[in-house]
Each structure stands twice: as C-alpha cells, then as structure tokens.
Amino acid sequence: MASAPSKLYSDDVSLVVVLLDTNPFFWSSSSLSFSQFLTHLNQVVVIATGYNSCDYVYDSSSTGNQSVGNGRMPSLCATLLQNLEEFMNKDEQLGKQEPEGRIACSLLSGSLSMALCYIQRVFRSGLLHPQPRILCLQGSPDGPEQYVAIMNAIFSAQRSMVPIDSCYLGAQNSAFLQQASYITGGVHHKPQQLDGLFQYLLTIFGTDLHSRNFLQLPKPVGVDFRASCFCHKNTIDMGYICSVCLSIYCKHLKKCSTCGSVFGQAQTQSDEPSATNRKRKTTDA
Amino acid sequence: MTNSERKRLNGEAEEEEEDEDDNLNGGLEAWERSYADDRSWEALQEDESGFLRPIDNSAFYHAQYRRRLRDRSLVATTARIQKGLIRYLYIVIDLSRAAAEMDFRPSRMAVVAKQVEAFVREFFDQNPLSQIGLVTVKDGVANCLTDLGGSPESHIKALMGKLGCSGDSSLQNALDLVQGLLSQIPSYGHREVLILYSALSTCDPGDIMETIQKCKESKIRCSVIGLSAEMFICKHLCQDTGGSYSVALDESHFKELIMEHAPPPPAIAEFAIANLIKMGFPQRAGEGSISICSCHKEVKVGVGYTCPRCKARVCELPTDCRICGLQLVSSPHLARSYHHLFPIAPFDEVTPLCLNDPRNRSRSTCFGCQQSLLSSGNKPGLYVACPKCKKHFCLECDIYIHESLHNCPGCESLRHSNPIVANEG
C-alpha cells in the first residue's frame, strides 16, 4: 500500500496528533506499567559550554533525576532548565569583562574534554555499555587559541571511535566543527532556517549510529584542510615547516620565530617552544 | 568390628586407590590439570576484616603509570626539552634460529611479528611525518625488507609474508646495512634503529667496534630490545649511541617495552640540523571528478587530493608526490604532533582529607567524569589534582588525560585571565 502523498499547497510545517490510550483497565492488567510507557532507555548528559566556565547541567542516569515527580514528563525538563539557570548565574559571576569588537568564543575545548572523560567512564562500566556519541550545539565562532586543545580532543575521540556531530547556528562557518565531524565520522550541518531547529535536530542528529547506515544524512562538503602561515595568517597551499617545532611559514626565513632555531647549521643552544607561543597557533581559514 | 577397625580398613582402601591414580596421572587429577596454568586463587587477597576480595588492580595500574610518567619527565628535564619529531626509524628483526624458540607462546617470531604490527600503527599515529623501514637478519646476512616509507599497510604486508627462521644472527651486518641506508636521508631528520634481538651470539665478518664507532659518528641512535638475556655488546652499543637497552621478561612486558619507543625520544640538539622543509597542503578533489591517481595508476572518481605544485592526484595523505617529489600533508597531521611539544604537567596525588566537610562537598566528584571520589563506605579514596587549576580527578581520568587526551579539562574550562591573547599576532 503506497504511503499518502503530501498536498502541494499546504505549509511546510507539520502537525502530528497523537492519540494516547489511557484506558485504566488495560494498563492495570498490562505487564508494561504506564509510567514506564512514558520514559525511555536512551541516556542523555548535557554539559554547558559557557564563556568563563563549563559544567555538567543534566544527567539522565543519575538517581536524583529518575524519580519522575508526579509521573509527569515536564519534571525532566524542569530539572534541566533549573540547572541551566544556576549555571548561567554562576558563569556570569566568574568574570564581568565584555569583549570589544566581534563576538567572543566559548570554551568548546573544555566541554569536549569533559565529555570525553565521561564517555571513558561509560566504557569502563561493563561489556554492554550504551553507544556514546557527542552532539555540539554551537553558535559562537572558533577561538584560535583553542586550536591545539580541540585537535587533541578530536584525535582522542577518533581513537575511541566516538563520532562528534555538530549543529552550527552562527553566521560564519566553523572550521573546527567541520574538521571534528569529518575526522571522527560524525555529521556536520548548518541549518538554513532556525525556526525549524527542532526538526533538524530530530531527523539528522536524533538517529542512533546503527540507523545511519541507511539514512541519507548531510554529506561533508568542502572541508578545508589547508593550513595558515604563522607570519600573515593567510591560508597557503605550499609552505615551509620548521623541522624542530613544526611551525608553518609562507616564505624562507633564517631563524624560526617560535623556537629560535637557526636554519642550516647544527644548533648548540636553542630555546624550548614557550607556552606563550602556543597561543599564536592558528586555525584553518 | 569396631569403628576404628572399620575406619582403618576404609582408609587403607582409599590410600591404595590414591596410589594407583597418582601413578597413572603423574600426580595430578583430571580436574586439577585444567587449573595447572590458571591460578585464579592467586588473584585474591584478604582485607582488614578477613574477607576475601580480588586484588585492587586500579591502584596498581595507577602506580605503574605514575612511575612511567615520572621516568619520562625526569629524562626530559635532564636532556634538552626538544623532541625529535621527524624520525627515520629502521626496525631490525632477528630471524635466526633462536627466534623459533617457544618460550614466548606460540614462538618468539610470532610474538615479535604481532607486536611489530601494533607498533607500526601506533608509531604512525603518534609521528605522522616520520618514516619506517624494515630489515631482517637471517643466515648471517642482513636484508632490507621494505624501504623507508610512511604507509603502515605496506610494511605490515611485507612483514607477514617473510617469517621463516634459520641460521645465525649478525649484529655487524645489520648495523652496516642500516648505516648505509640512513646516510641518504635529509639532515633535519633524526636517525634511529630499533633492534629486536632473540639470539645470544653474533656472527660478524669484521670488528664490530668499528661499526659502532661509525654509527656514533653518523649520529644514529640505536636501541635494542632483547628477548633472551642481556648481552654486553648490545649494552655497549646502546650506551655509546644514546639509545636504550632492555630485555623482555614475557609477552606483555615485551609489548610494553616496544611501545615505549613510539613517542618521540628527547632529541639531542646537535644530532639533527634544523631546517625549513617545503611541504604542500593539498585540497580534496571535487566530488565526482574523474582522474587517474599517481600511486595506483587506476581511474578514481571523487576521493583523493590534488598536489598543489604539479596537480597530480594522490589517494591518501601523508605521502610524497610521485611526480614532483613534494611532501604532502594536511594540517591535522601536523596537529597530531603538537601535544609532544606542549605536554601537560603530571597531576599531584592528594592525601585524602575528610570529604564529608560541607566546604568540600562540591569536590567529592571527579571534575572530568562526575564519578564519586568516595570509595565504598563513604571513605575518601585515592585521587589526584591538577597543579594549575586545582580541580580533582579520579585515577582513571588521570591515566586517560595523560595518555590519550593531552588536555586538562579543568584548565581548558577556565577563561584565561589575559584577554589580549585572542587578538595577538
């Protein structure tokens, strides 16, 4: 039997009417209890990526959250919203300075690292552990000072086989998130219409990893793996790499500005790449 | 008959039966034989109240890991902090008749082959810009199995095909061959040899001390892992060239020893000349574009990269372009090595204070995984703290952060105090 076709002249927004059987005679005699009917087996952990700090906001498997209050679904959302509000208040207290000019970045590397530590704990919990994946809902732009930390987190996720999905809501493109999803085998998408965000989340990011084999999810297009030179921050096709500290330059130099090695002679004394120079490492365009 | 007499009769009968059984089974019952190798009762110990419980392995692994970290950081502070990131490593595998010995199960050769395969993968994971070559020693002659290359699959395939053992082993021939091969590499690379030696003798055509002197002058760092016993000549070779010598006690120890050579060793600054290496950053070929790839000489659709200098198509990175010779990498490959240059400080162990103190209540969970830091019975267990951000972590997170993640979640979750950093440069 063919499925019903959609009418061409109706709006793109859908309406689903759910008819829920609440016949008490059936539920009292059924093996599945009504409160179980409304809960779910999947686990959700929410970590907030703030401006000054990151913290866990909600964990569906902790015992405090499993008691459903009056048996009503909204109690789960209420806990989440309450914790989120507490986190935002604490985050604001930690630092009052406003960045001048463009929108500042959030601490994505911190929350990625915390998520990976939690996932390692899940791996340790036994043979039949839930299949973990990470979803980043991000609107802030990339912060170049976080490049090394984010790449470390991406490689660690790739090794543990944890896909990183990313839904980018900001204006520009996020090169970090595109690379993260490409390297770990996740899905990256930038929704065109933010009004329909719930639908994007449900259809693209809500599916589990087994089902992704036979779903047509957005493919990675145009992931740019070129590097930027340290001197001008331009994206380059061909460059020169210092053999000691792997800094990238677009033209030939006599001395490396990051580690101080003189090129072409056997060095006797060279400084170590100092921690302040780390912040000059840049991202891809 | 009295009870004692009956018992005596029964006892004698039992003893006779036991004697017969013992003679047949060589002293072991049938059910005992299955436990001869697997002694699971040795993994139990008594705790303070007299109950049996399994030996607490997590604290043991953690102590082992902390010892490894301490040794590594000790070496790093005494030598130069620089690490040799671009390495050209030859692995010399001893295929003499001593490698067919069965003291490592199933045979020394099989264990070596399996661990070399795992080592090659781990090596390219940690050093994406480096190259490996394989050399075998058999019947007193050293042969080059694979040339220096950056693709793990080709080395592993070549190794698995040639695993026959015979004849004597020759240390001098192996070193001569490797020294000749390593003299052709660029001067900015670090030259290394890892010898996996099973034999207890070496059959050399000349003076091995001269060869060792030549290796020292060519600045080759030789390390040896022995599988049978310690030999003076190996120790002398390693001491002269600045490598490390160790002897494996069993299979898991051998795996540990060989994996220690995967991270870059502390580089001695005079050994490699710093230089600027010209590299290309190819872009992905457009979806649906059809061309002939230069590595397999086949028609490929879509996937692949284009060399920026000569526009030839290559299938995977990192590689050298076959047409123009340019080294092609992508920026994640360079990023894989950055954590060697910026390691995080080891965490300090924290003496368990009273965690029931209301001030410390927020600190009773690990910052990374939210696991409770109290062990059973509400007693504070063992945990560590980061020296910079002072957040607490459990032992497993400590190991994961230092071995795999290389980021401290606490330090990354704090906004840096100087905001000018983002606009610098």
How confident is the model over B102-144, as pLDDT tens digits? 888 888 898 999 999 999 999 998 888 899 999 999 999 999 9
Q: Does A140 touch chain B (CB under 8 A)?
A: no
User: How far is A145 from chain B, CA to nearest CA, in Å?
Assistant: 6
Residue B273 and residue A94: Cβ atoms within 8 Å?
no
DSSP H helices in B168-243: 171-182, 208-217, 232-241
Tell me which DSSP letter residue B375 carries. Answer: E
Residue B112 exposed, middle or buried by CB count within 10 Å (0-12, 13-18, 19+): buried
Per-residue pLDDT at B13 = 45
Question: Cβ–Cβ of B397/A120 closer than 8 Å?
Answer: yes
Cα–Cα dist B153/B144, whole Å: 17
Could you read off the pLDDT of B281-321 as tens digits, one per residue?
888 877 777 888 888 888 877 778 888 888 888 888 888 88
* Domain range B348-415, CATH architecture: 2-Layer Sandwich (3.30)
CA distance B305 to A17: 50
- How far, in Å, CA of B66 to CA of B347, rounded? 9
Beta partners for residue B185, in sequence order: none
B391-415: per-residue pLDDT in tens?
888 888 888 998 889 989 998 888 7
The three-class DSSP label of residue A213 is helix
**Residue B316 in 3-state DSSP?**
coil
Kindly list the domain boundaries of chain B, sorted by start residue: 82-261, 279-341, 348-415
All residues of chain B having their beta carbon less than 8 Å from the beta carbon of residue A158 are none
pLDDT at A156 over 90: yes
Report the candidate in A266, A256, A248, A252 with the shortest Cα–Cα distance to residue B267: A266
Instruction: Of A75-89, A156-170, B49-63, give the lowest mean pLDDT range.
Output: B49-63
CA distance B161 to B262: 24
Nearest to B309 among A238, A252, A278 (CB): A238
More reliable by pLDDT, A144 or B23: A144
**H or E stretch including B64?**
helix B57-78
Torsion of CA A9, A13, A19, A20, to 10 degrees: 170
* Closest alpha carbon within chain A to B128: A246
What residue type is A152 in one-letter code? N
User: CATH says B82-261 is which class?
Assistant: alpha beta
How close B132 gets to chain A, by Cα (Å)?
Answer: 18
d(C-alpha B412, C-alpha B425), whole Å = 21
Residue B378 has pLDDT above 70, yes or no: no
8 A C-beta contact, residue B132 and residue B169: no
pLDDT at B65: 72
Q: How far is A11 from chain B (nearest CA, A)?
A: 34
Contact B425 A233 (CB under 8 A): yes
The mean of the pLDDT values for chain A is 77
For A260, name the nearest residue in chain B, comparing CA atoms only: B274
Model pLDDT for residues B141-159, shown as the tens digit of each residue: 999 999 988 888 889 999 9
Nearest residue to B90 via CA among B200, B196, B239, B204 = B196
Sheet holding A164-168, edge to edge: A134-138, A164-168, A188-189
Write down the mean pLDDT value for chain B: 80
Residue B405 has its nearest CB partner, among A113, A242, A243, at A113
User: Which residue of B81, B368, B415 is in closest CB contact with A117?
Assistant: B368
Residue of B332, B400, B415 lying closest to A117 (CB–CB): B400
CA distance B85 to chain A (A): 7
